Amino acid sequence: MSREGPAQEPDPPEEPEPTSSGSLRPTPPLSLVGWAVVGLVVGWAVHPVCERLGVVPPLVSVAQPLALLLLAAILGYVAWATHRTVQVRRGLLRPHQAVNRLVLARACALVAALVAGGYLGYGLTWIDDPAPLAEARMVRSFIASACAAAAAVAALLLERACRVRDDDGAPSA
């Protein structure tokens, strides 16, 4: 037994204070740049790693940029429809619809930035390469990168379209 005095109960953990505004901030541009840089590094590494392992580097088919372009078109249409509902008509989305669209927009923006960087990095490794399909790989990679960047922009537009105005007229997420 110790003689330190009566045992004291530990302080109860403090609960975090709820945010006063209850709003979300837009996706930070720095996080998009970060994901694009990660994609660039990984895409840049694919060609040399394949050569070192003795594996044929992957071809970029026409379907890959087209799929990214389709994603950009779908996100753009949903952004336009959401903007029309929320901003122009001053209507409201059901809460689960708004959250679903916001989550979709953020996820697509980050992944599209990653994919755009990946295709850009992969395409850059084929510049001045004497391989027979080097030019085709490079051009298709750059096209796929541009389509992924378009998908990221469309996703950011969808995120912006989900913003509603406060009572004082200021936009909030």
Structural contact between residues 114 and 35, judged by C-beta atoms closer than 8 angstroms: yes
pLDDT greater than 70 at residue 92:
yes
The predicted pLDDT at position 98 comes to 87
- Count of other CB atoms within 10 angstroms of residue 24: 15
Please give the mean pLDDT across all residues of the chain: 87
Bridge partners (DSSP) listed for residue 172? 164
Per-residue pLDDT band for 101 (boundaries 50, 70, 90) equals very high
pTM value surpassing 0.85 = no
The predicted pLDDT at position 63 comes to 96
Of 116, 142, 113, 143, nearest to 33 by C-alpha is 113
Tens of pLDDT, residue by residue over 134-163, are 999 999 999 999 999 999 999 999 999 988
Tens of pLDDT, residue by residue over 37-46, are 999 999 999 9
pLDDT greater than 90 at residue 11:
no
**Across residues 70-75, what is the average pLDDT?**
98
C-alpha distances in angstroms, 39 versus 66, 112, 129, 166? Answer: 19, 10, 21, 37
The predicted pLDDT at position 165 comes to 65
pLDDT greater than 60 at residue 112:
yes
- In DSSP notation, the chain reads ---S-SPPPPPPPPPPPPPSS---PPPPHHHHHHHHHHHHHHHHHHHHHHHHHT-PPPP--SHHHHHHHHHHHHHHHHHHHHHIIIIIS-----HHHHHHHHHHHHHHHHHHHHHHHHHHHHHHTTTT--STTHHHHHHHHHHHHHHHHHHHHHHHHHHHHT-EE-TTS-EE-
